Amino acid sequence: MITRAVHPSIVERARDALVVVAAALAAQGCLFTQFFSRTAQTWGDAPRAVPGRLTHPYRTDARLVVSWVGHATALVQLDDKLVLTDPVFTETVGQVSLRLVEPGIAPEALPPLDAVVISHLHFDHLSLGSLELIERKVRWLGLPEGGLTYLTDFDFPASEVPTWTTHQSRGLRVTAVPVMHGGWRYGLDAAWMKHGATGWVLDYHGLTVYFGGDTGYDQSKFRAARARLPHIDIALLPIAPIEPRDFMRSRHMDPAQTLDAYRDLGARWLVPIHFDTFVNSLDEAGAAPRKLQEEMARRGLGADQVVLLQIGEQKVFL
């Protein structure tokens, strides 16, 4: 694996060679090699810097705040409680896919976290290296069923939360809700990891946030969450990866489906996530938010309902 400590000229030559090989394979139509070709083009590139990176994300003057760190990582503030979703701060995912944009909050800038929730066990959502970086800040880690098997030794308490089960601590309620995604980590474990993916609903002092992690579109699951946990203030939902659609459809929503899910949940606001942070599809950079805005215009939805954040941007809702 090429690392960023290697001399730039070596990185460039190796990257160029890999791109040529991958492009030749991609020309044969293999999905994996097409993805590999796109990934290889980023090797050796430093992640893009975030201007005005958040250094003090906790707000004493607000009740409900979302700060987007990148990908599915968001810092959610509900009054005096802080919850971090799917923390990924590392420069790579699975030692292959490089980060395109630096995290919107550096791990050392995070305040103490009342909860960290993991939606599923894929490397871009359960990042053990990232958990090491924030270990001393985590008061509790929530995992889907079977997740403890993949967790290495950490100092913080962690527990699995089965679907429709609630973990409660000091007034903060964290409920696991069903989503449409795979729960395995290494491929072979797909044979037995049937419940390793979940969404989460965070509830505190009458403030409610839905975090979908990574999911395909299943109307019944979103409507079930709304029926059991109504009055959702914010829905954090993925809008990518999109392409190739026939392959992604079973586990990933496109922007139009995300807006459908937002409607199904009955949330007051939608915050799109899971795009333009890593290469994890055949999508062009910027395609997902562009398609989202086109669909918003078609449906008459404005920025007062769908809050499209930049990485490192914070939004005070209440």
DSSP structure string for 208-269:
EEEE--S----HHHHHHHHHHS----EEEEE----SSHHHHTTT---HHHHHHHHHHHT-SE
Q: Are residue 39 and residue 70 in the same domain, yes or no?
A: no
Domain that holds residue 273: 48-316
Cα atoms found within 13 Å of the Cα of residue 134, Cβ hemisphere only: 29
Residue 103 preceded by cis peptide, ω within 30: no
Q: Are residue 64 and residue 165 in the same domain, yes or no?
A: yes
Separation of alpha carbons 245 and 276, rounded Å: 17
pLDDT band with cut points at 50, 70 and 90 for residue 33: low
What does the pLDDT average to over 102-107? Answer: 98
Q: What is the pLDDT of residues 142-185, one digit of tens each?
A: 999 999 999 999 999 999 999 999 999 999 999 999 999 988 78
Q: Are residue 144 and residue 251 in the same domain, yes or no?
A: yes
**In the prediction, which pLDDT does 111 show?**
98
pLDDT band with cut points at 50, 70 and 90 for residue 7: very low
Q: Are residue 40 and residue 141 in the same domain, yes or no?
A: no
What does the pLDDT average to over 106-121? Answer: 97
What does the pLDDT average to over 13-29? Answer: 41
CATH number of the domain where residue 53 is located: 3.60.15.10
Q: Are residue 53 and residue 40 in the same domain, yes or no?
A: no
Separation of alpha carbons 156 and 109, rounded Å: 19
Separation of alpha carbons 201 and 210, rounded Å: 4
Length of the chain in terms of residues written: 318
**CA-based nearest residue to 130, from 112, 111, 103, 157:** 103
Q: What is the pLDDT of residues 216-254, one digit of tens each?
A: 999 999 999 999 999 999 999 999 999 888 888 888 999
Q: Are residue 107 and residue 230 in the same domain, yes or no?
A: yes
Q: Are residue 33 and residue 53 in the same domain, yes or no?
A: no
Q: Are residue 20 and residue 57 in the same domain, yes or no?
A: no
Q: Are residue 2 and residue 118 in the same domain, yes or no?
A: no
- Domain final position from 9, 28, 45: 45
Q: Are residue 119 and residue 232 in the same domain, yes or no?
A: yes
Q: Are residue 187 and residue 259 in the same domain, yes or no?
A: yes
Separation of alpha carbons 278 and 98, rounded Å: 6
Instruction: Give the number of domains in the chain.
Output: 2
Q: Are residue 11 and residue 145 in the same domain, yes or no?
A: no
